[in-house]
């Protein structure tokens, strides 16, 4: 076979290998981006679930590029994270877990908040399923960004229920 024909036949295969390598490199870069989002309780070491419509979170972005999150409206901070993009999950699921559930119908998100490298944003998360205050296990917070990448928090405790304020005068 003529060397020109061999080269011509090998060129498409070489291009396919280069393309596959590029796709793998992009997938690896996206995986690193997911790990660079830090999700934490906004003001304490535990996750405050005493009000499912107001679970305070902060998200810090530690990588290059911008990342967006769907919100209910443009007002903020704190911004109200859309319910479709947020979930609380038990770190170790148990058949005895008792979670509160609210069935609701939400409109698709119409607003987004975007943060760049080094930025931190305060959010109020709304969820349809959450553990009661004082839940004895640990939980993860899962947030999905506007590019449909999922970001997972570290395992964290749920805050104990806050009792009525004591009256020192009587």
- Could you tell me the CA-to-CA distances from 47 to 94, 95, 168 in Å, in that order? 19, 21, 28
CA angle 41, 105, 146 (to 5 degrees): 55
**Class of the domain covering 37-157:** mainly beta
pLDDT score for 103: 58
Over the stretch 119-148, which tens digit does the pLDDT of each residue have?
999 999 877 677 888 888 899 999 999 999
Domain locations in the chain as residue ranges? 1-35, 37-157
pLDDT score for 3: 53
Of the two residues 61 and 20, the one the predictor is more confident about is 61
Alpha helices in the chain (DSSP H): 3-35
Classify residue 84 by its DSSP letter.
Answer: G
What is the full DSSP assignment across 103-116? ----PPP-EEEEE-
Q: Is the pTM of this model over 0.75?
A: no
Nearest to 80 by CA among 70, 92, 68: 70
Over the stretch 61-118, which tens digit does the pLDDT of each residue have?
998 889 999 998 888 889 999 888 888 888 887 766 666 666 566 778 889 999 999 9
């Amino acid at each position: 076979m003529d060397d020109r024909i061999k080269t011509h036949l090998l060129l498409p295969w070489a291009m396919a290998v280069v393309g596959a390598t590029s796709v793998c490199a992009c997938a690896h870069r996206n995986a690193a981006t997911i790990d660079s989002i830090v999700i934490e309780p906004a003001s304490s070491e535990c996750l405050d679930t005493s009000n499912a419509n107001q679970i305070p979170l902060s998200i810090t972005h530690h990588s290059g590029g911008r990342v967006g999150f769907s919100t209910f409206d443009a007002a903020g901070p704190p911004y109200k994270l859309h319910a479709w993009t947020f979930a609380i999950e038990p770190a170790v699921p148990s058949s005895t877990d008792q979670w509160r559930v609210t069935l609701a119908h939400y409109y698709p998100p119409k607003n987004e908040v975007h943060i760049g490298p080094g930025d931190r944003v305060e959010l109020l998360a709304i969820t349809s399923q959450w553990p009661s205050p004082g839940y004895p296990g640990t939980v993860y917070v899962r947030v999905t960004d506007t590019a449909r990448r999922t970001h997972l928090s570290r395992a964290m405790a749920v805050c104990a229920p806050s009792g009525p304020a004591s009256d020192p005068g009587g």
